[in-house]
A and B are shown apart, each in its own frame.
Chain A
Amino acid sequence: MKIETNIFDFDEGIVLENGTKLSSFKLMVETYGELNESKSNGVLLCHAFSGNHHAAGKNADGLVGWWDQLVGPDKAIDTNKFFVVCCNNLGGCSGSSGPTEINPLSDEIYGKNFPQVSVEDWVNSQKMLSDRLGISKWHLVVGGSLGGMQALQWAISYPDFVNKAGILAAAAKSSTQNIAMNEVARESIRKDPNFCNGDYIKNNKRPKDGIKAARMLGHITYLSEKHMNLRFGRKYQEEGSKVSGNVDFEVENYLQYKGEKFSESFDANSYIIMTKAMDGYDIATDSKTLEKNMANIKASLLIIGFNSDWLYPPARGKEIQIAAINQNIKSSYIVLDGEQGHDSFLFHSEKYSKAIKNFIGS
């Protein structure tokens, strides 16, 4: 599989939904496979809250991409046939313009001053990327969770530029409970003494503990009760492999380990920006609003929900489907069990991969 990782500079800048302007910005982009002559085999992957441009294959650090189970040669999204593109979203912390990057206007790190971006802003910046790549119509725009919101927004914002949209474990708006969970996570970051009101980089500090606690909470919401039970049960962690002396159970060890690892790589301001963007997304104040917003969609949709997902449960996907039907949009909605809760969208299962493969090929 041919993998390329590049930075794309957009010197023309972008006006964000909240009115602020980034005079210029950059996107970290990874591509897989090759664009055909007619430029009709483009597939855009939109990453979820903590994802990045590295979706498939192994990168230089040996890390496997977040959607490697479904993206690659002969996989559900076949890189032998499709030119697959994924970028780190604006406000992220993996090389695109965001809080950890230098503000070209001041030559200082953006830090807490990076503007709040939205799902719509991400889609607009991805549209600029597709223009740059010369792709006038994506064969498929697809994503899970917050990525699914982007796929839906693509079909709404750019109806003539999307052939198919895959909306996986997603919703047309964040629920009250989603916002509540995110706020607990943000609060733990803000209250970390090293957060320094968002200026931790300037002060040579890192609010690692806050990010860690936030991620530990996040992981609980990504998994299902059943999956946690099956995987960890009430098993005790073996003495030799404990990450700290405070740990008794395996599940504690798991959360500690995952939280710690995440806190080493993810930026606190990015965490706040990304979750705020997720919370802010709402194209469905009520069912009539959702229909109105979806009225211009021309793409065919595939909406997938997972029964074990309580963060964005299948009913949220069904709302999008019913609105699509009411607006005469070609749309399918399926529900799979998905052992891994909300995270199910990341993992291969026979039915899941087949659904996506059939949808792309149809």
Chain B
Amino acid sequence: MAIEISKVIQDWVPRGSKIVDFGCGDGTLLKKLIDEKDVQGYGVEINDKKILSCIEKNVPVIKLDIDLGLHDFEFSGFDMSIMARSIQCLKNPNIALEKMLKLSKTCVVTLPNLGYWRCRINLAVGKMPVTPDLPSSWYETENIHLCTIRDFENLCEEQSITIKEKFFIGPKNKKGIMSSTNPNFFATEGVYLLEKK
């Protein structure tokens, strides 16, 4: 995860809160949040190698398929759930959003933007987008539900989800004026803090 994004998320996470990170990877973000913001954090991950790294870091982790496991945490009382660059890999991103906001008061979602201009050029010449941020070919990508910034914000609107904060980054994970003023065209990734209306 880009340092900029990690910093923004750290700012949004309330000190001492209870959080769950869906698709926590090797636990780097959670480790930071546990050490620096004193959170009670749990990671959810499916990859064994990454899980072992979490355990090595003393980051609590659960092996679960997010597609199947979101309903397990109904009574866990999380303050915040995080899903960084994973929602586009799920079978039902809309249901996942709904469930995340049921199991936690707020949620942080980051997602790649298919509306980014380089993706549009790819499509304009008749090819599926392959960019530095979306490097996999169509036949091997895990991103089965890619969307644009506008699509995602429309979905939030439809599902009565309030976007409390948002943040965009452009190429090379840098925050720029272009990606902030016209994110749907210039941002490579969107970072959202969401709350149920």
Q: A interface vs B, CB < 8 Å?
A: 300, 302, 318, 321-322, 325-326, 328, 330-336, 351, 354-355, 358-359, 361-362
- Do residues A326 and B55 form an inter-chain contact, with CB atoms below 8 A? no
Cα A325 to Cα B21 in complex, Å, equals 13
A334-B60 CB under 8 A given contacts A325-B42, A325-B73: no
Instruction: Name which residue of chain B comes closest to A361, CB basis.
Output: B56
- Do residues A334 and B61 form an inter-chain contact, with CB atoms below 8 A? yes
7 pairs, CB–CB < 8 Å, chain A vs chain B: A328-B40, A330-B60, A332-B61, A334-B48, A336-B48, A355-B52, A362-B58
A326-B75 CB under 8 A given contacts A358-B56, A361-B56, A362-B58: yes
Cα A336 to Cα B48 in complex, Å, equals 8
| A contact residues around B57 at 8 Å (CB) | 362
A358-B72 CB under 8 A given contacts A330-B60, A332-B62, A351-B48: no
Interface residues in B22-59 by Cβ distance below 8 A to A read 40, 42, 48, 51-52, 54-58
Partner of A331, one of B48, B60, B73, B77: B60
Partner of B55, one of A318, A325, A328, A362: A362
Partner of B63, one of A328, A333, A358: A333
- Do residues A358 and B73 form an inter-chain contact, with CB atoms below 8 A? no
Partner of A358, one of B42, B52, B75, B76: B52
Q: B interface vs A, CB < 8 Å?
A: 18, 40, 42, 48, 51-52, 54-58, 60-63, 72-73, 75-77
Partner of B76, one of A326, A336, A355: A326
Rounded to whole Å, the gap between the CB of B150 and the closest CB of chain A is 36
Cα A325 to Cα B72 in complex, Å, equals 10
| B contact residues around A331 at 8 Å (CB) | 60
Instruction: Name which residue of chain A comes closest to B45, CB basis.
Output: A334
Rounded to whole Å, the gap between the CB of B22 and the closest CB of chain A is 13
Partner of B77, one of A326, A358, A362: A326
Partner of A362, one of B56, B63, B76: B56
Cα A302 to Cα B18 in complex, Å, equals 19
- Do residues B60 and A359 form an inter-chain contact, with CB atoms below 8 A? no
Partner of B18, one of A328, A333, A335, A361: A328
- Do residues B72 and A322 form an inter-chain contact, with CB atoms below 8 A? yes
| A contact residues around B52 at 8 Å (CB) | 351, 354-355, 358
A333-B63, A362-B56 given; 17 more Cβ-contact pairs under 8 Å: A300-B58, A302-B55, A321-B62, A325-B73, A325-B76, A326-B75, A332-B51, A332-B60, A333-B61, A333-B62, A334-B61, A335-B63, A354-B52, A355-B55, A358-B55, A358-B56, A362-B57
Rounded to whole Å, the gap between the CB of B93 and the closest CB of chain A is 24
| B contact residues around A361 at 8 Å (CB) | 56
| B contact residues around A322 at 8 Å (CB) | 72-73, 76
Rounded to whole Å, the gap between the CB of B62 and the closest CB of chain A is 5
Cα A351 to Cα B55 in complex, Å, equals 12
| A contact residues around B77 at 8 Å (CB) | 326
| A contact residues around B42 at 8 Å (CB) | 325
| A contact residues around B48 at 8 Å (CB) | 334, 336, 351
Cα A351 to Cα B75 in complex, Å, equals 31
Cα A334 to Cα B50 in complex, Å, equals 11
| A contact residues around B40 at 8 Å (CB) | 328
Cα A48 to Cα B77 in complex, Å, equals 35
Rounded to whole Å, the gap between the CB of B90 and the closest CB of chain A is 20
Instruction: Name which residue of chain B comes closest to A336, CB basis.
Output: B48
Cα A330 to Cα B77 in complex, Å, equals 15
| A contact residues around B72 at 8 Å (CB) | 318, 322
Rounded to whole Å, the gap between the CB of A344 and the closest CB of chain B is 14
| B contact residues around A332 at 8 Å (CB) | 51, 54-55, 60-62
| B contact residues around A336 at 8 Å (CB) | 48
Rounded to whole Å, the gap between the CB of A184 and the closest CB of chain B is 33
